[in-house]
Amino acid sequence: MKFPTNRLRRVRYNKILRNMIEDVRINSSDLICPIFIIEGTNIKEPIDTMPGQYRYSIDQAVKLCKELILNKINSIILFGIPLKKDNTGEISCNSNSIIPKAIKELKNVYGNQIFIIADVCNCEYTTHGHCGTIIDNDVDNDATLETLCRQSLILAKSGADALAPSDMMDGRVQAIRNELDKNNFEKIPIFPYSVKYSSAFYGPFRDAAKSSPSFGDRKTYQMNFKNSNEAINEVQLDINEGADVVIIKPALSYLDIIYKIKERFDIPIIAYNVSGEYTMVKSASQNNFINEIETILEILHSIKRSGANAIISYHALDIAKYLKSNEVQ
């Protein structure tokens, strides 16, 4: 049909009708809240490069999770900031490391009310800030796999509900899956960062996690942002190795990648709305250049519309509060 018989605006005049026929909706259950954990007690330390975000000691993270649960967010992803570091990240491979301790305490308090995804990587734990063991001035893939496997096993033993290796080493999913299975953790799913681009949008995170590389960059293991077909290869390899869900990072500048993976593979997708994306919105809203909530809602809906099943976002709690306050009673 043609105009004037066909008028597309007819279904836009009434708000109830507009809501009725929406393609996607954001719910609190779609959101995963990232939390930075530090040693100490009673610490809630502001992150200068991420307004409104904090580094939490474990006791303060417990309080944060109570607020998350009250606002219907039941999924978190943890990043550890240890007091001491070493050359290989081996410090993360024991039960007294910061994240295993946090997992145990959160599970002790909340049990199955909270779903804990543990990030698996070495960058927060190495003195040089790279994601693995350095040999001949580069991250050695296979040596790094050994550390990642030990770290993963400790996290599983501590009570993590899922593991999210973010290192971008080849073969890590298969190696971790084998390590988990032979230790009777076959029920623990693996959510690899299958598509992780080398991105300028990570800057605030690296400040928050104190994980910036002390030399060079991460372009020998993270993906070239100019490529898209490479993402298909990465996801296919991870699926073949046993990935249960894939994470795509960053999100906002990579909606085409999310869409492409959704169309190509029958696997759940988590998109990571990363720190740089968060800080741009916060900075603009603090200067009254944009409406913060409306902008966040538009961003999150665009990510979900592109094919993401869930979204890791630093906006999670703010949006959950907004959704709760706007529920139809």
Of 15, 44, 196, 219, which one is the catalytic site residue? 196
What token pair was written down for 328? 């139809």
For this structure, is 249 an active site residue? yes
What token pair was written down for 33? 């809240």
Of 84, 85, 219, 249, which one is the catalytic site residue? 249
Q: Hey, how many other C-beta atoms are within 10 angstroms of the C-beta on 88?
A: 21
Q: Hey, how many other C-beta atoms are within 10 angstroms of the C-beta on 213?
A: 15
Structure-derived torsion over alpha carbons of residues 54, 126, 120, 228, reported in degrees to the nearest 10 = 90
DSSP track, 47-105: -TTSTT-EEEEHHHHHHHHHHHHHTT--EEEEEEE-S--BSSSGGGSSTTSHHHHHHHH
Distance CA 30, CA 25 (A): 9
Three-state secondary structure call for residue 274: coil
| CA distances in angstroms from 268 to 181, 261, 264, 304, listed in the order given | 22, 10, 12, 12
DSSP, res 114:
S
For this structure, is 210 an active site residue? no
Instruction: Give Cα 235 to chain centroid, integer Å.
Output: 16
Residues annotated as catalytic (active site), given as ranges = 196, 249
